[in-house]
A and B are shown apart, each in its own frame.
Chain A
Amino acid sequence: MSSDDRLREAFEKSAPKVGDTSRVRGELGPAMTRARRRHRLRRGIAASALTLAVAGGGVAAAVQLVGGGDDEIDTRTSMLPTPDTMLSPSTTASPATTSLVVPTTPTTTLPIATTTTSAPTTAPSTTEAPTTTSTGPVTATLSGPHDTFCGSVTFRVTTQVTVESHVDTPGYTFSTEGEGSTEVEAKWEGAPEDECEVAAHLEDGELEIQFDRE
C-alpha cells in the first residue's frame, strides 16, 4: 500500500461520520427561505438606492457591496463606509461598487453586519502589485491591514532567484534550472498602515509572484 493510500485510509478512519442529511436540510429550511427573501430584498433595495445615495437625503447608514461576484465573498470584513464614501456619486454609480442604503428606523431588520460582501480574498485592492511577472529584478509591495500574507512564488529560471521578505519570513534561494514553486508566508506584525515588501531578484527567466490575503 502506498503512503498516499495509507493517508487516505487514516483520514477515512479518523474523520467523524455525518448523520442524516435530510433532517439537517429540513431544519435549515426556514433559515434558507429567510436568506433567499433577504437576498431578493437586498437586490431590490440596492438597485433603488442608487439615486438616494447620490442625493444623500434621508439616509443614515450604508452597507457597501463591492463587486466581484459571490465567488469572492469574504465574510471576515464587515464595514460601514464613511459618509464621504457613501455620498460619493463616483462610488455609487460604479458598476463594480454599489451602496445599499438602509434607513435607520427602528423597523429596519436587515442584518447589516452579516450581509456585507467585501473585498476579494485574493489580491486585495490595497495590494499594489498582487501578481507580477517579470524577466528582471522585481519588487512586489503589499500594504494594508493584513493579519497574515501568503505569497506563492512560481519561478522558471535559468540562473538564480532569491525571494526576500522584509518581515519575518526567511529568504528563499533557488539555484536550479527549470520550473518550480515555493511559498512565502509570514505573520503580519506591522501596523495596519505599514507596508510589507517582498522582493524577488532574478537574473534571467520568468517569475510570478502571487499574494493571497489570509
Chain B
Amino acid sequence: MSREASDYMDEFDAFFDKYYPAMVRSLTMISGDGELAADAVQDAFIRAYARWDRIRRYDRPDAWVRRVAINRSRDHFRAARRRRGYEARAAVADEAESVEHQTDDRDQLQQALATLPRRQRTAVTLYYLEGLDVASVAQSMKISAGAVKFHLSRGRERLAPIIEEGSA
C-alpha cells in the first residue's frame, strides 16, 4: 500500500473512531432500535468511504454521514410502514412514528422521547446527547437554524417535566 493510501486510510479510521460511537448512540435514541441505528450508521460510513476523497474536504464530513444515517433509518421505517398496508397505516396514522420505538426496556427519557415528533426527537438528541451546536444540528438535519431552535424549544417543553419529575 502506498504511503498516500495508507495516510488516507488512517485519516478515515480516525474519523470513524471519533464519530461512530456518538452517531450510533444518537440514532439509537432517535430510532429506538440499536441494531437499526448501527446498521444505518455503518451504511453511511461505507458510503462516505467510497467518496472519501471528496467528503474529507467538506467543512463537516460528520454532518454528511450523520444525515445519510438519519435518512437511512427513516427509509427503513417508511418501508415498514408501506409494507403494513394502507388500512393498517390509516389506523395507526397518528402513531406512525411510534414504530420507531419498539424496545420494551426503555427508560423514562426514551419513553418521553418516543412521543415527540421525529424532527423534535432528532434535534434534541443531537443537541443534548451529541453536544452539537444549533448550526451543526441544522447541517445534519438539513433544516434552517431557526427550525432547529423551534424544535429544541418544543422538545424542551415536552421533556423538561419528565426530567424534573425524575429528579424530584
A39 interfacial contact with B, CB 8 Å: yes
Per the bound structure, the CA–CA distance linking A209 and B38 in Å amounts to: 35
Check A181 against B45 for contact (C-beta < 8 Å).
no
Q: Is A191 an interface residue (CB 8 A)?
A: no
Query: Is residue A154 contacting chain B, with contact meaning CB distance below 8 A?
Result: yes
Task: Give per-residue flags for A28-46: 1 if the beta carbon is below 8 A from chain B beta carbons, else 0.
Answer: 1001100110110000000
Known: A10-B166, A75-B75, A182-B150. A18 touches B20 (CB 8 A): yes
A residues 1-35 with Cβ under 8 Å of B? Answer: 3-4, 6-8, 10-18, 21-22, 24-25, 28, 31-32, 35
CB distance from A155 to the nearest CB of B (A): 10
Contact A8 B128 (CB under 8 A): yes
Interface residue tally for chain B (C-beta within 8 Å): 58
Return the contact of A152 from the options B46, B47, B67, B144 (Cβ within 8 A).
B144
Q: Please classify the interface of chain B as helix (H, G, I), strand (E, B), loop, or mixed, using the class held by over half of its residues.
A: helix
Known: A21-B17, A73-B68. Contact between A35 and B49, CB under 8 A?
Answer: yes
Whether a CB of chain B sits under 8 angstroms from the CB of A165 is: no
Separation of A210 and B16 alpha carbons in the complex (Å) = 33
Tell me the B128-155 residues at the A interface (CB within 8 Å): 128-129, 131, 142-144, 146-147, 149-151
> Chain A CB within 10 Å — which of B47, B68, B71 has the most?
B47
Chain B residues whose CB sits within 8 angstroms of the CB of A152 once the complex forms: 143-144, 146-147, 150
When the two chains form the complex, which single residue of B22, B58, B167 contacts A6, counting CB atoms closer than 8 Å?
B167
B68 contact set on A, CB distance < 8 A: 73, 75
The reply to whether B45 and A28 form a contact with Cβ atoms under 8 Å apart is: yes
Q: Are A15 and B146 in contact (CB under 8 A)?
A: no
From known contacts A39-B50, A181-B149, infer whether A150 and B163 are also in contact, taking CB-CB under 8 Å: no
Q: What is the minimal beta-carbon distance from A214 to any residue of chain B, in angstroms?
A: 8
Complex: how many Å from CA A68 to CA B158?
37
A183 touches B (CB below 8 Å): yes
User: Given A11-B29, A14-B110, A32-B46, do A21 and B163 touch, yes or no (CB 8 Å)?
Assistant: no
Known: A75-B75, A76-B75, A181-B149. A10 touches B47 (CB 8 A): no
The 8 Å CB contact of B146, one of A4, A18, A39, A154, is A154
Chain B contacts with A in 23-40, Cβ cutoff 8 A: 24-26, 28-29, 34, 38
- Residues from chain B with a CB closer than 8 A to the CB of A22 are 17
Q: How far is the CA of A7 from the CA of B125 in the complex (A)?
A: 10
Contact, CB under 8 Å: A12 / B129: yes
Q: Does B104 contact A (CB under 8 A)?
A: no
A16 to B110, CA, bound (A): 11
CB pairs A–B below 8 angstroms (21 shown): A6-B163, A11-B129, A12-B129, A14-B107, A16-B28, A16-B34, A21-B17, A25-B20, A36-B49, A38-B50, A70-B55, A73-B68, A73-B71, A75-B71, A76-B78, A147-B78, A152-B143, A152-B144, A152-B150, A183-B151, A185-B117
Q: Could you list which residues of chain A lie within 8 angstroms of chain B, going by C-beta atoms?
A: 3-4, 6-8, 10-18, 21-22, 24-25, 28, 31-32, 35-36, 38-39, 70-71, 73-76, 121-122, 147, 150, 152, 154, 181-183, 185, 187, 210, 212
